[in-house]
Structure 1
Amino acid sequence: MKKAALITGSYGGLGTRFANIHASNGGDLVLVGRNQKKLDQQAAELKHQYQIEVHTIAVDLSQSDAAQNIFDTCQENHWEIEYLINNAGFGGQGEFIKRTMEQDMSMIAVNIETPTRLCKLFLPEMVKRGHGKVLNVSSTAAVMPGPLQAVYYATKAYMTSFTEALWRELKDTGVTATVLMPGAMSTGFASAGSLGDTALFAKAVDPTPVAQAGYNGMMNGKMAVTAGLVGSQKIFLPMSPLMPKKMLMNSVYNMQLPGSAKK
């Protein structure tokens, strides 16, 4: 395989954009997601359009053995992964005490555990070769707590901190780690997390330029990339660390209330 990229959550939102960007540059792909039918359809389209090699791995990323299964499949088939793009993730609106245990533990597994395990498995191979790149998709949610999405915001704070630490640890190895922190985007994320009618997603942006910014940042070995901010977000985000914490929490809470987009 030529400069293969492994992309989790490949057939939704940012995933499709990452796949198309990498394929348009002549790179091969390993697409990862739960639905084999969707993976097969995406693979067929990419092969036809870009004349590249595309493989698929159907796996539930909320399962503790998911990362090992992905790694073992790549090893068994001699698929050398040059780019690891941990894109899969999901959120979910609601008070912590009202959300189910399964909802939030699955979120932690997909947003934190599996990406961490994948880095643990693939990074030593990259460092041994002396080349490779990791892109972990986080969120601008990483820079503040998120009432009404308490667990989601916390998972993204972890991914940002983790990736930035990796960036420094990997210095002089030939391998880099980059974190992408997008703002609200018009993908399936909002509807899946029951956030479509919130003020937070009222002005969601096209994910294509966000994916391109993240991909470019990865290729250039940048530590962190923030992209997709619009309007008030461009002002609110830099100011958030300076705001009194209670005022900040009230603002975030109000932006995530159901129906707040109409207020």
Structure 2
Amino acid sequence: MKTALITGASSGIGRAFAQELALRETNLILVARSQDKLYQLAQEIQGQTSLAVDVIVQDLTEPEAGQKVYNQVKDLGRTVDLLINNAGFGDYGPFAERNLSQQLNMIQLNVTVLVELTHLFLAQMQQRGQGGIINVSSIAGFQPFPYLSTYGATKAFVLSFTEALWAENQGKGVHISALCPGPTESDFFERANFPLTFASKDGNGLTSAEAVVKDALNALENNKSHLVTGGLSNQFLVNASRFLPREWLVNAIEKQFRG
């Protein structure tokens, strides 16, 4: 039976990954800093299945957090067949007015620990000749996003990094895919401090986390380098830079996302 490690597993897309993979009879290692939520989710899954569900409580914004998680997995004696780097957050507002420590923590969580965990577990997957990695990017990774400048830049990194690894690992038995969701049912807007008027306006078009997860797992199985979820508006946005001047596009986004 395979084992999946999921970061940011306590809510949103991470929680949906855990629930869907449990239905697919996959043992789980759940990682997040929210101890109560993690143990509650683990108990729910164990109460409905005979799966092994381990919990690793770790603040992934800490230095060398990825190595700490890797060491705990080794201590558990578990082999990770599927790595889902889902943990991440955004921070809305003009960059110069936002807290610098928050921006640096975002880079640590969205980029650094993702690279760290990917490097640590990918080598083992290559040795076994099988495995899978899903790195959660965003439709914000396809073009600059004013008022989400650091977040968009981190997700652009994740998309580029993941697609490069997808190409490197063709024929090695390891599938790697970037998940690029549009607005999804989660606490993203609240944690990113979006204005209530904007969040409520956008809320009607949210895709369910469950639908995003099912599509992501199917894309991985079919060895897709990336997946954009949501409707036609998301497809238009991620392809707009191919047809429109970049300055015009980023100015249009700035006007839309201005508070």
Shorter-chain TM-score tier: over 0.9
Give unpaired runs (5+ residues) of structure 2. none
| Distance across 2 between alignment mates of 1:42 and 1:193 | 24
SS where residue 85 of structure 1 aligns?
strand
When normalised by structure 2's length, the TM-score is: 0.94
1:210 is aligned to: 212
Residue 234 (structure 2) pairs with residue 246 (structure 1): no
Find runs of 4+ consecutive structure 1 residues off by over 4 angstroms: 199-202
- What is the root-mean-square deviation of aligned Cα atoms in Å? 1.4
2:51 is aligned to: 52
5 Å matches for 1:224-235?
Answer: 224-229=226-231, 232-235=233-236
Shift of 1:246: 2.2
Shift of 1:219: 2.4
After superposition, what is the alpha-carbon deviation per residue over 1:172-219, rounded to whole angstroms, capped at 9, x for unaligned? Answer: 211121111111112100111122532655522222111110111122
Shift of 1:237: 3.3
Question: Which residue identity lines up with residue 153 of structure 1 in the other structure?
Answer: G
Question: Which residue identity lines up with residue 111 of structure 1 in the other structure?
Answer: N
CA contact (8 A) 1:71 1:118 kept: yes
2:197 is aligned to: 197
| Distance across 2 between alignment mates of 1:117 and 1:88 | 13
Question: Which residue identity lines up with residue 239 of structure 2 in the other structure?
Answer: P
When normalised by structure 1's length, the TM-score is: 0.93
| Distance across 1 between alignment mates of 2:102 and 2:140 | 19
SS where residue 9 of structure 2 aligns?
coil
Shift of 1:148: 0.5
Shift of 1:101: 1.1
Give unpaired runs (5+ residues) of structure 1. 259-263
1:261 is aligned to: none
5 Å matches for 1:165-204?
Answer: 165-195=164-194, 196-198=196-198, 203-204=205-206
2:135 is aligned to: 136
Residues 133 and 233 of structure 1, relative CA distance in 2, 3 Å threshold:
closer
CA contact (8 A) 2:228 2:235 kept: no
SS where residue 54 of structure 2 aligns?
strand
Question: Which residue identity lines up with residue 133 of structure 1 in the other structure?
Answer: G
SS where residue 112 of structure 1 aligns?
helix
SS where residue 63 of structure 1 aligns?
coil
* Stretch of structure 1 that moved more, 89-98 or 247-256: 247-256
Aligned length: 256
Shift of 1:50: 2.4
Residues 119 and 237 of structure 1, relative CA distance in 2, 3 Å threshold:
closer
| Distance across 1 between alignment mates of 2:63 and 2:219 | 29
| Distance across 1 between alignment mates of 2:114 and 2:167 | 18
CA contact (8 A) 1:207 1:228 kept: no
| Distance across 2 between alignment mates of 1:75 and 1:10 | 19
Question: Which residue identity lines up with residue 230 of structure 2 in the other structure?
Answer: G
| Distance across 1 between alignment mates of 2:237 and 2:110 | 25
5 Å matches for 1:1-263?
Answer: 2-195=1-194, 196-198=196-198, 203-229=205-231, 232-258=233-259
| Distance across 1 between alignment mates of 2:132 and 2:50 | 23
Residues 176 and 95 of structure 1, relative CA distance in 2, 3 Å threshold:
same
Shift of 1:115: 0.5
* Higher helix fraction (1 or 2): 2
CA contact (8 A) 2:8 2:14 kept: yes
Shift of 1:242: 1.6
SS where residue 96 of structure 2 aligns?
coil
